[in-house]
Amino acid sequence: MRNPVFFKSNGGNQYFFETNKKLLHYCSDSLKEIIETNGKEFIQKNFNNSQKENYDFELYNNMKAQGYFIQQKRVNNDVLITRNHILDAISNINQLTFETTEKCNLNCKYCSYGNLYNDYSKRTNKDMSFDSAKVIIDYFKEFWDNKANKSINGLIFISFYGGEPLINFNFIKNTVDYIKSLNIKRQIQFSITTNAILINKYIDFLVENNFNILISIDGDKTNNSYRTFSNGKHSFDKLRKNIINIKEKYPIYFEKRVNFNSVIHNRNSVAEVHDYIAVEFGKTSNISEIRSTGIHPEKLNEFKRLFNSVNKSLNESNNKESIINDNFIKLSTIENLALFLHKYGGYNYQDYSNIKEKTIPLQKTPSGTCVPFSKKVFITVNGLLLPCENVDHKYHLGKIVLGKVEINLEEIVSFYKRKFAKLKNKCDKCYLNEACALCMYNMDIDLDGDFICKSSVGLEAFKKYLSAQISKIEESPYLYERVMKNVSIE
Amino acid sequence: MKQILVVEPSVHICVNDNNEVLFYNTYNYNFLYYKDSNIVKIARTLLSENNNYVIYLQNKNTKIEKKFIDELIANNMGFVHSLKNTMRKPIQLYPISAVQKSSELNDEDYSILIRKNILKHLNEATVYFNRVKSGVNNHILHKQFVYPILDENNSEIELTIENIIHFFESIKYSSLKNINIVGSNLLNFNGFSSLVSYLSSFNANKRYFLRLSEIVFDNFMRIKEINPEDTTIVLTIFADSELNELERAIISLQNLNLNFQFRCAVASEMEAVFFKELFTRYKISNYHIIPYLDNTNFRFFCKNVFLTFEEVLELQNSMINIHTNEHINPLFFGKICLMPDNSVRSDIHSENPIGYNDDNFVIQEALYIALSTENSWRLTRNKVESCKDCVARNICTPISNYEIMLQKYKICEQQ
């Protein structure tokens, strides 16, 4: 692995990135020459050296004395998952997401469970039973009350996902009532992701139980026109009426607990979504893209027609600066910059313990895949336990069998070991390893059924990546301080 | 062509409202200190969020500014570059310390964030297993360094081995790296063998604190019960020991296959010289000298414990050190004490316990109190009135036991 890596920004400036110590540095031509020749070029010139060259030579020597520019084989801190990692994650789990129902009252064009994709388990319009939820809650409650739980009165998220979860409202009500009856020594936060078509009927219950509500809306009527009922009719008018009703009936709750998610496609833009949500509801929306993995080969052209990149759309906006300011941490462009700065900026600390440890590098698993159960567990209508809602059901980590949760730790360890073993080779050579956000479950699969990373980054691609990130800051210098101080990455 | 001043990301800049500014280079440890409003203005411009350590230079620079720039260059802290008109102004990713789960967040967010995985913050536990009566001069030693609690007023008390085991059972899922056992006459403690045996199952460094005077013929062999692999015996020695006894004891201990660290507590220059000569004679290098305050030696104590402002500026700090000093007190953070009265405290000085080691003790709750209330864990110079405006506050040494004991924090004014 090259060290350092020199690159140029779009603004025409030269920088280097020191790969061992993770330092980005503005770099003059003379400094580059000194680094590239290990100072020999400077020594040869000797008496003819300019003040700048003398300065750069001293800087180079100072940095060398501090351990910079050492050419060594990259130390890969990737760790494999052990039984203890999983036990630890289960003991400290803080989000249960229930696939409340497979049913949906809309038929959105770009739905991850629609005909654009071929990588999901077949939908059978099944509802989740309360009995299954009870088994899951009883199982995890033991861990929340256990000494091995490393948190204190931590926040536990109980989330309802679909299909459209409000179609199975009885399940939601029974589950909420049951959790409340258990007197769990944790703060419980309920949340729901909904298309809000049925929300008027149930809003009193959701408000009473302080639900976080995430409503899907893609902008105004035209922008939202891919979100239709199964008969093809637009859902927008009903949706808008329902949102306005919540806003009028529960204004404080609306301000605090109701949020929006908007998918960018060829019938809207970041600017249109931003302006509509701001004017109509006085809020900002999370902005996301249509899923670009698992596309049905026959639908590739249709996908290409629908797809619109958030970055591209944002760059085309006339009011880009104000959109960035308003939506700061909700934009993927800021998220990418934050990931870059947190991994390569050099001075980001997770918490006070991290700052005290100083030299211990952050350990991660190969690729950007998380330790199973470390973020959440997603429970399907069929009682399967998945690492999250974006994972194919065939990769379940456990299941409910005869009223009990079965999780085979050895099987999980062995599965991840096999999958990581293949990925690790690529990760070892990838310049972007530390900042990888790619989950293996979103990768393509080879003939052996193993995940294959097609995004391994070589030197030239890494230079482009560094250049793109630094160029963003050159263009809007305030982004550096704001991201460092305001955006956190788990 | 435009002229730009580019400061190196290795430079820590600190300004205050008294027109003072410090530029400190973490690569060569050079520093520039100014008390000048013009330089402070430049420093503030360099630090502004739209500049990121890079500013355009005007041709009308004053003599003072020109001199400043020359000094920056001479100390390898920054350089003047020419920039083509077509190019954007470059940036430096200057050293912002971003602690994601920081108390600078609003109370609600901080409270939620620190609750998660709170056990990771516990790294060191010190058990003071007894409190014994003592004379006037000794009663403040444990406030100065790790030492048995000797008390002239309160009654004598002692923890039971059950108390101690209960405490360690409560914290065993934490990230414990160091265990200290401190008390008077440890070798005669009733539960000594059980304690040594119990602690051997802990994957942590153990340190047993003894005083040389406590090791006598009757208990000498008990030391051998200690497993030398992950345990150090810290032996505190005072210069008032009988020289012959001292020499004989050191030789005997040296012959044991155990890890010893000799800690020489000194109240004067003469005592320090005495120990240096003694250990040189026996070719022993694993010793260190700790000054302590008694009722007679304030001048010696200040000279050897505190630093002048100039000495502070000469300290060699990395950028991570500076960031650590900005946010936490590394001498105290992550450490708790079990006291002889069975209370659990964030440090030896604190009056309010963070918990009691009884059946209701939950270590997570105790750590939450330690992290969310004002105590030594986050006692930085930014937080004390006498230091918070000083431009050297983040390169200075962390607030120490001595300062907390004396309630005097401006170490540069103590001499």
Q: What pLDDT, on a 0 to 100 scale, did the predictor assign at position B104?
A: 67
pLDDT at A121 over 80: no
- Residues of chain A with C-beta less than 8 angstroms from the C-beta of B49: 477-478, 480-482
Mean pLDDT of A459-482: 93
* Closest CA relative to residue B285, chosen from B331, B254, B243, B247: B254
Nearest-CA distance A476 → chain B (Å): 8
Q: List B55's β-bridge partners, or say none.
A: B5
Q: List A188's β-bridge partners, or say none.
A: A156
Q: What pLDDT, on a 0 to 100 scale, did the predictor assign at position A94?
A: 86
**Angstrom distance (rounded) from CA B160 to CA B184:** 14
pLDDT at B100 over 50: yes
For residue A366, how many C-alpha atoms fall within 13 Å in the half-sphere facing its CB? 23
Say which of B76, B81, B320 has its CB closest to residue A59: B76
A378 in Cβ contact with A97 (< 8 Å): yes
In A, residues 13-52, which contact B (CB 8 Å cutoff)?
13, 15, 23-26, 28, 51-52
- Residues of chain B with C-beta less than 8 angstroms from the C-beta of A353: 120-121, 123, 175, 333-334
Query: Tokens 């313990």, residue?
Result: A353
The answer to whether the CB atoms of A151 and B54 lie below 8 A apart is: no
- Residues of chain A with C-beta less than 8 angstroms from the C-beta of B99: 349-352, 354-355
- Count other Cβ atoms within 10 Å, centred on residue A125: 11
Q: Which residue of A has its CA nearest to B49?
A: A478
pLDDT at B301 over 60: yes
* Closest CA relative to residue A15, chosen from A39, A31, A38, A1: A31
SS3 content of chain A, % helix, strand, coil (to 5): 45, 15, 40
The answer to whether the CB atoms of B98 and A477 lie below 8 A apart is: no
Report the share of chain A in percent with pLDDT over 70: 95
**Angstrom distance (rounded) from CA B187 to CA B193:** 9
Mutation pick from A58, A144, A356, A476 vs chain B, by most beta carbons of B within 10 Å, is A356
Q: Which residue of B has its CA nearest to A153?
A: B115
Q: Are strands B149-151 and B157-158 parallel, antiparallel or unpaired?
A: unpaired
Report the share of chain A in percent with pLDDT over 90: 56
Structure confidence at residue B357 as a pLDDT band (50, 70, 90): very high
pTM score: 0.86
Structure tokens at A355: 């700052």
pLDDT at A361 over 60: no
**Angstrom distance (rounded) from CA B16 to CA B138:** 41
Q: What pLDDT, on a 0 to 100 scale, did the predictor assign at position A359?
A: 54
**DSSP 3-state of A352:** helix
Show contacts of A276-282: CB within 8 Å, 24+ apart.
A276/A219, A276/A220, A276/A223, A277/A217, A277/A219, A278/A326, A280/A220, A280/A240, A281/A243, A281/A247
Mean pLDDT of A459-474: 94
The residue with greater pLDDT, B64 or A198, is A198
The answer to whether the CB atoms of B378 and A474 lie below 8 A apart is: no
- Residues of chain B with C-beta less than 8 angstroms from the C-beta of A28: 79, 81
Q: What pLDDT, on a 0 to 100 scale, did the predictor assign at position A345?
A: 80
Q: Which residue of A has its CA nearest to B378?
A: A352
Give tens-digit pLDDT for B313-342: 999 999 999 999 999 999 999 999 999 999
**Angstrom distance (rounded) from CA A201 to CA B274:** 86
A347 touches chain B (CB under 8 A): yes
Residue type, A298: E
Structure confidence at residue B135 as a pLDDT band (50, 70, 90): low
Q: What pLDDT, on a 0 to 100 scale, did the predictor assign at position A46?
A: 67
Produce one character per residue of A329-348: b if its CB has 16 or more CB atoms within 10 Å, e if not: ebbbbbbbbbbbbbbbbbbb
pLDDT at A315 over 70: yes
**Residues belonging to chain A:** 490
Structure confidence at residue A360 as a pLDDT band (50, 70, 90): very low
- Residues of chain B with C-beta less than 8 angstroms from the C-beta of A355: 97, 99, 320, 323-324, 327-328
* Closest CA relative to residue B121, chosen from B371, B330, B362: B371
**Angstrom distance (rounded) from CA B42 to CA B66:** 12
Nearest-CA distance A257 → chain B (Å): 15
DSSP one-letter string for A389-430? TTS-GGG-SEEEETTEEEE-HHHHHHHHHHHHHHHHHHHHH-
